[in-house]
Amino acid sequence: MLITCPYCGPRDVIEFTYQGDGNRERPDPASQNFEAWNAYVYDRLNPAGDHNEIWQHSGGCRAHLRVVRNTLTHEILSVAFVRGDHAPATRRKAEDKA
Amino acid sequence: MAEYSAFSLLANALKGNKDWKPAWRKPDPKASYDVIIIGGGGHGLATAYYLAKEHGITNVAVLEKGWLGSGNVGRNTTAVRSNYLLPANTRFYEHSMKLWEGLSHELNYNVMFSQRGCLNLAHTPAQFDDYARRGNAMRHLGVDAELMTPAQIKRLIPALDISDSARFPVIGGLMQRRAGTARHDAVAWGYARGADRRGVDIIENCEVTGFLRDGDRVTGVSTSRGDIRAKKVAVAVAGSTGRVMQLAGIETMPIESHVLQAFVTESLKPFIDTVVTFGMGHFYMSQSDKGGLVYGGDIDGYNSYAQRGNLPIVDEVMSEMLALFPGLARVRMLRSWGGVCDMSMDGSPIITTGPLPGMYLNCGWCYGGFKATPASGWTFAWTIAKDEPHDFNAPFTLDRFYRGLVIDDKGQGANPRLH
């Protein structure tokens, strides 16, 4: 399985770490809504088909990626940075200084 | 119905084996049943068998999307053990082990249960201490366990590399002698025949496409062979739990489906007569009665319903095998396959009433469902018949995740890919 990192290009899946269901929303840390916390920690969509998930390019640029992947065919439909469409922040700072 | 005995084997052998009868009927679905079980795998068939035998409920249908035993019951690596740490797991799996010990006799079907032992290797002092703790916990609950030294292990498995120059030297191990393997297909066939002869309808090529509802209550299923009504609908679909529950309008579950790959080599002469597991990675291996080495390791680690894996895990499993058994480097791999596991958030199963009225759910077996087949069917049948759990499965509820009562044997937290 190849994942095309928007920063590094197509790389083998072994460079990436799976971080799970991308549909979850972490509640406000101050929230005492137990149902929302339980849902965040334990509930998963688990579709048979297109799945919105988070991967980290841990063996490359270390960016967190939002990947849409088909769980029946392993086909990767889209890859984007989790924090908007830009290069990783550390790299940008280095370029800004230069 | 085909009965197996020394006499029937001899009589049929003399007649050229032409008179064997099919082991189960191929009935058309009736309009309604007392209980419908979705999923004709090991757990669904065992549930039907124990419903009929233990509770006298025989107006039962088992619906199978493909052919009988085409899912995980025919895809696993056949290991059977009850070497758990937490009491809820130990009690449940030990009940399963006791059922295994009498299963061939009970079913009049040779499931080739072989108590060849299961040995977990330790590679660090901390790991050895942890195994000692687990062994003590097991023995407190009446389960056999013994610690082994490297010298004993070398005598048991001569091909194992226990030298100091191994990448992860073996410093000991935890052995459960009563553990072992069973012939996985025979388990499905034996339970199928046992259920069928007690009146259960086993309906193959019958895919469930939706649930019939009366308000919240589930009153039956729609299938590729028409609507079927039932007082109780039980779901035992292993890796497809997420998909089937979505048909019932339940969008999220504390479950992720992952693929687990398994491998078998060409046949060898007797090489290893136990099940061995590697403690520094995730690898386990035994030898089948045909001679092939059967082995596996980690799940691929991302959601998948594909029933096939990807190459990195193949690579990883092979490296772990060679770390333990350098002598296998030139043995050829015959084939590999994948099964879909429903990985729960704490690594333990769910056997429960609900989540909707009229529905019963059996899922979350991660990749350890095969060894549980008898106890899973036995407790699920109890739960369906009596609308309440048996003591053995009372801890395995769906709401344990939301009540702070998770059963996390590995201590990995709510992370399915690590269980």
Q: Please identify which residue in the block is written with the tokens 């680690």.
A: B301
Specify the pLDDT at position B2.
Answer: 67
Q: In a mutagenesis test of the A interface, which of B241, B302, B350, B399 is the best target, namely the one with the most A β-carbons within 10 Å? A: B302
CB contact under 8 A, A48 and B251: no
**DSSP tag of B231:** E
Is the CB of A73 less than 8 angstroms away from the CB of B301? no
Residue A87 has pLDDT above 70, yes or no: no
pLDDT on residue A91: 45
- Return phi, psi of residue B335, to 5°: -160, 165
From the list B255, B306, B310, the residue facing A44 with the nearest CB is B255
Q: Poorest-confidence range of A66-70, A82-86, B4-8, B94-98?
A: A82-86
pLDDT, mean of residues B132-146:
96
B249 has a chain A CB within 8 A of its CB: no
User: Cβ(B262)–Cβ(B339) under 8 Å?
Assistant: yes
pLDDT digits (tens, 9 = 90+) for A12-28: 999 999 999 998 889 99
Contacts of A65 in chain B (CB under 8 A): none
Contacts of A22 in chain B (CB under 8 A): none
pLDDT surpassing 60 at residue A94 = no
Q: CB-based contact (8 Å) between B17 and chain A?
A: no
pTM greater than 0.90: yes
As a whole number, mean pLDDT of residues A67-93 equals 77
Q: Cα separation of A65 and B161, whole Å?
A: 41
Is the bond preceding A10 in cis, omega lying within 30 degrees of 0?
Answer: no
**Chain A nearest C-alpha distance from B303 (Å):** 6
- B252, B253, B399: which to substitute to probe chain A, counting the most A Cβ within 10 Å? B252
Q: Do B251 and A45 touch (CB under 8 A)?
A: yes
Q: What is the pLDDT of residues B180-237, one digit of tens each?
A: 999 999 999 999 999 999 999 999 999 999 999 999 999 999 999 999 999 999 999 9
Closest CA in chain A for residue B250: A45
Confidence bin at A83 (pLDDT 50/70/90) = confident
Q: Which chain B residues are Cβ-neighbours of A1 within 8 angstroms?
A: 310
B160-169 confidence digits (pLDDT tens): 999 999 989 9
Average pLDDT of chain B, as a whole number: 95
User: A89 falls in which pLDDT band (50, 70, 90)?
Assistant: very low
Confirm or reject contact between A30 and chain B (CB < 8 A). Answer: no
Q: Is the pLDDT of residue B124 over 50?
A: yes
Fold classification of A2-27+34-81 is: Folate-binding fold (3.30.2270)
CB contact under 8 A, A38 and B402: yes
Is the Cβ of A77 closer than 8 Å to some Cβ of chain B?
Answer: no
Residues 165-204 of chain B whose Cβ lies under 8 A from any Cβ of chain A: none
User: Where are the extended beta strands (E) located within B171-254?
Assistant: 172-176, 180-181, 201-203, 208-214, 217-223, 226-235
State phi, psi for B296 to the nearest 5 degrees. -160, 180
Range name among A87-91, B225-229, B237-241, B408-412 with the lowest pLDDT average: A87-91
Domain ranges of chain A: 2-27+34-81
pLDDT of residue B120: 97
Confidence of residue B21 (pLDDT cuts 50, 70, 90): confident
Interval B32-53 mean pLDDT:
97
The answer to whether residue A97 scores a pLDDT higher than 80 is no
- Does residue A84 have a pLDDT over 70? no
The C-alpha atoms of residue A47 and residue B250 are separated, in whole angstroms, by: 12
* Residue contact B306–A18, C-beta within 8 A: no
Decide: residue B249, CB within 10 A, 0-12 exposed, 13-18 middle, 19+ buried: exposed
In angstroms, how far is CA A3 from the centroid of its own chain? 11
> Which pLDDT does position B19 carry in this prediction?
86
CA nearest to A45, candidates B361, B79, B242, B116: B242
Judge: A71–B305 Cβ closer than 8 Å, yes or no.
yes
- Would the CB atoms of A46 and B310 count as touching at under 8 Å? no
Q: What ipTM was assigned to the predicted interfaces of this complex?
A: 0.87
Q: What value does the mean pLDDT take over residues B155-174?
A: 94
Please tell me the predicted confidence (pLDDT) of residue B88.
96
Chain-chain contact of A48 with B402 (C-beta, under 8 angstroms): no
Over range B337-344, report the average pLDDT.
95
Q: Please count the other Cβ atoms lying within 10 Å of the Cβ belonging to residue B404.
A: 7
> In the predicted model, is pLDDT for residue B71 greater than 80?
yes
Give pLDDT tens digits for B27-42: 999 999 999 999 999 9
Q: Which of B240, B301, B414 has its CB closest to that of A41?
A: B414
> Which residue from B242, B301, B414 is facing A46, i.e. has the nearest CB?
B242
Q: Say how many CB pairs under 8 Å bridge A and B.
A: 68
The domains of chain B, with CATH numbers, are 29-78+185-254+346-403 (3.50.50.60), 112-180+256-344 (3.30.9.10)
pLDDT at residue B119 above 60? Answer: yes
- Chain B within 8 Å of A25 (Cβ-Cβ)? no
pLDDT the model gives residue A98: 44
Question: Which residues in B lie closer than 8 A to residue A44 (C-beta atoms)?
Answer: 242, 252-256, 416
Min Cα separation A73/chain B (Å): 6
DSSP letter assigned to residue B36: E
